[in-house]
Chain A
Amino acid sequence: MIRPLVALTVAVLAALPAGAAERVVSLGGAVTEIVAALGEADRLVGRDTTSSWPEAVTALPDLGYVRGLSAEGVLSVAPDLILAEEGAGPPEAVDLLKSATIPFVEVPDGYDREAVVAKIETVADALGVPEKGALLAADVGRALDAAVAQAAEGPARRVLFVLSVQGGRLLAGGRDTAADGIIRLAGGVNAVTGFEGYKPLTDEAVTRAAPDVILMMSRAGAEDLEAEVLALPAVRTTPAAARGALVSMDGLYLLGFGPRTAQAVRDLAAALDRAGS
């Protein structure tokens, strides 16, 4: 982390409202991104495993997976504010942290423009920088609107989001998922809407979904996986396989619904156009 000059630090400290949190723990990749986008990353003292952006935050102590936190682990970094995405847990650990009278702010989840704006405002208020929050929210909102409008001009592709492949079966993203949300924003149509959440698809359901493009999260060394997915019997029957249309993007970037989402929408829309033609 780049430490600001001492003089600057003093100036910043003087400018902070009285009682503002100085040791913040951020749980959830998008929440951490928002803290950084607000220019408040130097107040962070801990993060969870899913917080991988910006690069600088990976130097912070890792307190574990966001749904399997250790209460003592979180307390060990002596936080005076905990920002957590919806669903952080386990509930016992969260209750213990609250009983230690550390302010615990839950940042609501959601997969559309309003949700991104609401997340930014919640985080900014908790950090005591509502003006910065209003500016960032307006910026991000404008960028999103522009990206969505532009994405809507292209042809609507049928997109199948594949979370993972287990034993040749695809775990696909249905309604009410971040995947569904980002596909819509990028002007696509989710190819499976018959269920909520992430569910394994039968071979015939994959065929019937008939996606133009298959969307996945990129992983290190995933080239084999992409080839493997396109070679699956069920997938071979789809328009996507005929064109080799498979798009991989970084998971947090694609599904985080944070400050980078406008750019993610642009990237995804462009990739869908390329892959689908």
Chain B
Amino acid sequence: MVAVSPEHSGPAPHWDRAPRAWRLTVLLALALVAISAASLAVGAAGTMPWTVLADMAAGREIALADRVVLFEIRLPRLAMGALVGAALAVSGAVMQGLFRNPLADPALVGISAGAGLGAISAIVLGGLLPAAIAGALGYYLVPLAAFAGAWAMTLLLYGIATRRGRTSIATMLLGGIALGALAGALSGILVYMADDAQLRDLTFWQLGSLAGATWTKLAAAAPLMILALVAAPMLGRGLNGLALGEAAAAHVGIPVQRLKTVAVLTVAGATGAAVAVSGGIGFVGIVVPHLLRLATGPDHRPLLVNAALLGAALLIGADMIARSLIAPAELPIGIVTAILGGPVFLWILLRRRGLLEI
């Protein structure tokens, strides 16, 4: 998973003078391109992208089913997987930098619980909405509610933790745990009210899936994720400074309060949009930044770029597994990320404690 660059001896070409982390960026970008191409070629239907493209170039007629599979199913799903994976990994990395804690991620401070509460409310109570509203929203009701839940939770947290223009990170963490528990309890009440079919829908949503990827949904969710992915690398220097502590960071001229505000809003937007369109996909936000820090150290500037690339590649890969393991049916992707992420996380942990030699 993690590339380790060979240490050359002899005359050093220009390539070797680039820091390892940025060399890894190039490798990850190449891996992302390769896995994207593979993802377009893998699926239950035997559609092959190159034949379709060749046929299009030659002006030949393409079977409708092939066109739908490639352009309406696999391609939006690939884009969605890349964006969601990148958004989750970058959100995790920013959170960990902000809280100076390698275990922080949007799930820990309750943002994911807020999104979950929104989604569950829509699934269980959606029937109570006036038909006109429910009809207009169609199946965007659940994503919208999830997004609203993530934002409401973030703003509430931010409000609780901010006094006289200063945001207390510790208060935010503890407040997030409390609010997350509360959101979980409210979700529990709704689960109790849910009927059999709603419970099924809920389970599918909680396990996460990219199956609902459509161009329309992507267009609605992509801007926020892209915004976060563009904004995040700009936070790199600030987060590096924050690692020294808030006072020290302020001394070296980092606008600490503005950094916190931007970081929180970025994470809320990216996580809210990602959870809204794909449900509960766990582990990406913790495992990806962690692996990268192990490989190339704690510098946030390359880390935030690499996290986006590795997160995207990882989720596209996981989605390929989800789509092909029990084809023509498919697994929820959250199961795949947890099965891959759990053991990897344990391995990292045990290796660091010196309990494993591999």
Contact = CB atoms under 8 A, between A and B. Distances in A.
A168 interface: no
Contacts of B45: 72, 75-76
Nearest to B203: A68
B197 A76 contact: no
B329 A72 contact: no
Interface residues on chain B, size class: 20 to 34
Which of A91, A96, A101 has the most chain B CB atoms inside 10 A of its CB? A96
A64 B329 contact: yes
Contacts of B212: 90, 92-93
Interface stretch (B28-36, B65-73, B152-160): B65-73
A64 B196 contact: no
A151 to B, nearest CB: 26
B78 to A, nearest CB: 12
Interface in A55-99: 61-65, 67-78, 87, 89-93, 95-96, 99
Interface stretch (A117-125, A194-202, A215-223, A268-276): A194-202
* Chain A interface main SS type: mixed
A18 interface: no
Interface in B321-338: 323, 326-330, 332
B318 to A, nearest CB: 15
A195 to B, nearest CB: 9
Given A70-B44, A76-B327, A90-B212, A96 B65 contact: no
Nearest to A79: B65
B214 interface: yes
B73 A72 contact: yes
A31 B302 CA distance: 55
Contacts of A36: none
Interface residues of A, number: 37
A77 B151 CA distance: 42
A59 to B, nearest CB: 14
A171 B65 CA distance: 42
Interface of B: 43-46, 64-65, 68-69, 72-74, 138-139, 192, 195-197, 200-201, 204, 209, 211-214, 217, 323, 326-330, 332
15 contacts: A49-B329, A65-B200, A68-B204, A70-B44, A70-B327, A70-B330, A71-B73, A72-B45, A75-B65, A78-B65, A90-B139, A90-B204, A92-B212, A96-B68, A96-B214
Given A70-B44, A73-B44, 5 more contacts: A65-B200, A76-B43, A90-B204, A96-B73, A198-B195
Interface of A: 46, 49, 61-65, 67-78, 87, 89-93, 95-96, 99-101, 163, 171, 196-200
